Structure 1
């Protein structure tokens, strides 16, 4: 039987959505700001990219 993952990022759509929210928040807060806000934006973009890559890898497995 397949084990169910219980982490927040087990669902790829949730991972992409969280990444999109972080990216948007970093973009909105990033006007005239530097440092931590840019890190939030980059983290959000990475979550979106990794979410889509995991979704593609999962589709190729089947």
Structure 2
């Protein structure tokens, strides 16, 4: 659905704008995984679910 690689995350910068192929993503429950590598070389993964609500 969405993939973003090799980027630097800055404070308050959005990772995803809520769109898929140029259209708002459908409402529903989504699972995400975020694989991180920090400047000191350590790595970790975060995985959660999120509810997306459309108005």
TM-score when scaled to structure 1?
Answer: 0.25
User: Which of the two has greater helix per residue?
Assistant: 1
TM-score when scaled to structure 2?
Answer: 0.26
Q: Which has the larger radius of gyration?
A: 1
